Structures are given as C-alpha cells and as structure tokens.
Amino acid sequence: MNTLKKHKAYFFLATASSFAYMWIYVHYFHLDYNVSLQCIFKYITTIPCPSCGVTRSIILFLDGRILDSLKLNPLGLLIFPALLIIPSLIVYDATTRCDLLVRAIRNFEIFVNRKAIAIPLITLVLLNWTWNVFKHL
C-alpha cells in the first residue's frame, strides 16, 4: 500500500474512532444535545439496520450488564474492543514508524475473504439484523 493510501486509512480510522467515542460519551452521560439523530436507514425505511442498538449495547457493557448488552446487539461487544485496539495501534504506529495497523487490516481482509469465513459472518450479520427487526429496535 502506498504512503498516501496509508495516511488516508489512518486518518479515516482516527476520525471514525473519535466520532464513536464522542457519540458513546454523549449517550453514556445523557448529555443534552439539540440534534435528534437516529439511524438514517431506520429513519428512511422504519426498519432497524444490523447495527441499530450498538451504542446502547456498548453502554450496557460499560455498566457491567454484559448479558443485556449481548441481548440488545451482540455487534456492540465486537465493536467495543475494536474501539480500544484501533486507536492504540494508531498511536503505536505513529510513535514507532511502523504500519502494524495497516498490516493487521490487510490480514483481516485476507482472512474474511475466504468463503469458509465470509459466508458464516454474513449469515451471522443477517441473523442479527433479523433479531433487531424482531425486537423492534
């Protein structure tokens, strides 16, 4: 991967992680904000998307309510560790001039692009989406 693509990847991941932390912070501490934001997919279709409830799932996890977190949306327990690992790898790579995060992403892509992995993962996401619709998230 060339240097420009690496910089874009790091910038995107740093920005996405920052927004995710701010979003969780606002919701965790029930801060007043004047904008009523909800899932765009749900707003347009009235059907929850596969990731609807992830913020609430992470907040339940942070409150120690792990089973409630899993019941609400198990994707939250997958995304939360990523929110810890990705910024850590960004800092590590910046201080050591390595590209560990980029290599990890590349290896992850290779891993999930195998049919034996991709099909079960897609099936799990679809099952989670069905679960979200069934629960009326």
Q: Which amino acid is at 136?
A: H
* Separation between Cα atoms, residue 124 and residue 137, nearest integer Å: 17
- Please count the structural domains in the chain: 1
Its domain, for residue 86, covers 3-135
> Does 105 have pLDDT greater than 70?
yes
Give the number of other Cβ atoms within 10 Å of residue 46's Cβ. 7
6 confidence band (pLDDT: 50, 70, 90): confident
Q: Say which range, 1-5, 51-55, 93-97, has the weakest mean pLDDT.
A: 1-5
User: Are 13 and 20 in contact, with CB atoms under 8 Å apart?
Assistant: no
pLDDT value of position 31:
67
Q: State the pTM of this model.
A: 0.83
